[in-house]
């Protein structure tokens, strides 16, 4: 069973915590040969903020993190930590804590020794290193596991040790590169919540790389959505979901159905119904992104009703997710109550709720 985190005011790491520092990417460019993977990236992470870099594989999020860590060399631009340009500073001088998807624990060392390793490299006395490592293990909820070796720990426990090792040196910035992706769903959810609690307690500036939208939305102060080496939008989880700045963001953050519409006079018309826009867009034909919770089953006589046929209906415990096909061939996803039972082949009528939508023109 995974352990609970015991963060207390008496923990030396909590007592030693200081205000987080600003991290800034200024026009950062990265080329691998002839291929440009980051295009003049500008991003500011505020002191003490938990910011996630979210995007599909190949979008540049891990490259950005590796540049910040000093594991890759810039092709252009600058990276600053706490107001200092660290572009030419080696990794071991940047004062960072790093946790990766692979736990990377030394198999011949127990949990306490693994946690102490970074302090030994900094010539901290063995007695002081032991005290700080014990405090770090307590912080991540493993106070009684110091003598256990990696093979005696679960995946979640090993990742906690990796987190303790990253925090024990009291870094200015914590970097997390998909640290939860190798864990099962229940442990992943539990550990992400505990990482967030620890981060808030320490006040450490944290940058978290993930392709999992649910993870990013659940854990972050802000999320930077990346695509093809660019940042599409940086915003709070709520703003990203409710007011995506582009079709790319609407499509990647959450689930959307894409339907045709026509923009005119600051609104978009879908199946004869006028719907407000999240942000201004040029007039003309557009692809409209509609969330499943903004589609509802209605009666045939509803003035905005659209006829459709059920293609699939999936029971998800507290709700159902149904896919229908309208008579003009558009696929719509609907999130609805379990009590609204439908089956494959049923003829139904649906309507789109008139809430602001994102579009791609």
pLDDT in tens, 141-168: 999 999 999 999 999 999 999 999 999 9
In tens, the pLDDT along 172-218 reads 999 999 998 888 888 999 999 999 999 999 999 999 999 999 999 99
Indicate where the chain has its CATH 2.40.50.140 domain(s). 260-360
The CATH fold of domain 12-242: Rossmann fold (3.40.50)
- Contacts of residue 32, defined as CB under 8 A and 6 or more positions apart, other chains included, come to none
Q: Cα 114 from chain centroid?
A: 27
CATH 3.40.50.300 domain locations along the chain: 12-242
Q: Give the bridge partners for 174, in sequence order.
A: 97, 206
Q: Which residues pair with 25 in a beta bridge?
A: 43, 79
pLDDT digits (tens, 9 = 90+) for 103-129: 789 999 999 999 999 898 888 999 999
Surface-to-core class of residue 332, CB atoms within 10 Å of its CB (0-12 exposed, 13-18 middle, 19+ buried): buried
**Which residues, in sequence order, are bridge partners of residue 267?**
264, 276
Round the average pLDDT of the chain to a whole number and report it: 92
Rounded average pLDDT over 304-332: 96
Q: Are 336 and 297 in contact (CB under 8 A)?
A: yes
Instruction: Provide the pLDDT for residue 246.
Output: 87
Whole-prediction pTM value?
0.87
Between helix 155-167 and helix 111-121 the angle, nearest 10°, is 20
Sign of the four-CA dihedral 111, 115, 120, 121: positive
Q: pLDDT grade, residue 251 (50/70/90)?
A: confident
The CATH number of domain 260-360 is 2.40.50.140: yes
């Amino acid at each position: 069973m995974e352990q609970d985190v015991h963060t207390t005011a008496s923990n030396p790491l909590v007592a030693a915590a200081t205000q987080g520092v600003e991290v800034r990417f200024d026009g950062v460019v990265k080329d691998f040969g002839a291929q440009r993977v980051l295009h003049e990236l500008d991003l500011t992470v505020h002191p003490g903020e938990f910011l996630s870099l979210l995007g599909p594989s190949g979008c540049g999020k891990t490259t950005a993190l590796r540049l910040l860590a000093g594991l890759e060399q810039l092709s252009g631009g600058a990276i600053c930590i706490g107001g200092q340009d660290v572009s030419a500073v080696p990794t071991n001088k940047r004062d960072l804590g790093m946790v990766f998807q692979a736990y990377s624990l030394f198999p011949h060392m127990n949990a306490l020794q693994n946690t102490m390793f970074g302090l030994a490299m900094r010539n901290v006395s063995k007695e002081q290193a032991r005290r700080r490592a014990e405090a770090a293990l307590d912080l991540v909820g493993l106070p009684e596991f110091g003598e256990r070796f990696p093979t005696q720990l679960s995946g979640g426990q090993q990742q906690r040790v990796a987190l303790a090792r990253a925090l024990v040196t009291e870094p200015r910035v914590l970097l997390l590169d998909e640290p939860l992706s190798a864990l099962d769903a229940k442990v992943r959810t539990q550990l992400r919540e505990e990482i967030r609690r620890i981060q808030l307690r320490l006040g450490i500036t944290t940058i978290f790389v993930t392709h999992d939208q649910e993870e990013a939305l659940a854990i972050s102060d802000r999320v930077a959505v990346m695509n093809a080496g660019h940042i599409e939008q940086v915003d709070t989880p709520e703003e990203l979901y409710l007011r995506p700045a582009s079709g790319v963001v609407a499509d990647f953050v959450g689930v959307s159905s894409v339907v045709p519409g026509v923009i005119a006079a600051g609104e978009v018309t879908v199946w004869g119904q006028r719907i407000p826009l999240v942000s201004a867009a040029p007039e003309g034909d557009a692809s409209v992104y509609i969330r499943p919770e903004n589609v509802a089953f209605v009666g045939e006589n509803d003035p905005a009703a659209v006829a459709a046929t059920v293609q699939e209906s999936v029971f998800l415990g507290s709700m159902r997710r149904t896919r229908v096909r309208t008579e003009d061939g558009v696929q719509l996803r609907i999130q609805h109550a379990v009590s609204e039972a439908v089956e494959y082949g049923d003829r139904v009528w649906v309507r789109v709720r008139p809430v602001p939508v994102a579009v791609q023109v």
